[in-house]
Amino acid sequence: MSGAINLVDKLAQFSEHWSPRIVGQFNGHDLMVVKVEGEFVWHSHPDTDDLFLVLKGEIDIEMRDQTVTLREGEVSVVPKGIEHRPVARQEAHLLLIEPTGTPNTGDPDTAVTKVAI
């Protein structure tokens, strides 16, 4: 068993937006924290669902046919293949869980490099 991971402490280690940091691993998945503000790019993930858990603040997950608003403590899963973009009107903090190696933009050529902290 590993020790506790303090997500608040991990989030305090960086200030960049839309740049997920890996804080742990779980059954072939990365556990990541990310700070977001503004609009992310429209994208989809053809092979995996996209999980968003809001730790602080509020975000909208815009899809072509609906928008889901998530507040602190709420979680939503965007099914694989659904085009979406997260939007945060003010800075928000998220926990993301996705298969290791999943590009955050859905395209390896435009994805950020995820760093472990």
CB contact at 8 A, 7 and 55: yes
Q: Walk me through the domains of the chain, giving residue ranges and CATH numbers.
A: 7-116 (2.60.120.10)
Please calculate the CA angle 21-107-71 and round it to the nearest 5 degrees: 50
What is the Cα–Cα distance from 43 to 16, expressed in whole angstroms? 20
Percent of the residues in the chain that have a pLDDT greater than 90, as a whole number: 75
Would you say residue 1 has pLDDT above 60?
A: no
Record the pTM.
0.90
Q: Specify the pLDDT at position 60.
A: 98
Nearest CA to 92 out of 74, 111, 72 is that of 72
In tens, the pLDDT along 65-114 reads: 999 999 999 999 999 999 999 999 999 999 999 888 877 766 667 666 77
Instruction: Tell me which H or E stretch contains 8.
Output: helix 7-11
- What is the pLDDT at residue 102? 79
Model confidence band, residue 61 (pLDDT cutoffs 50, 70, 90): very high
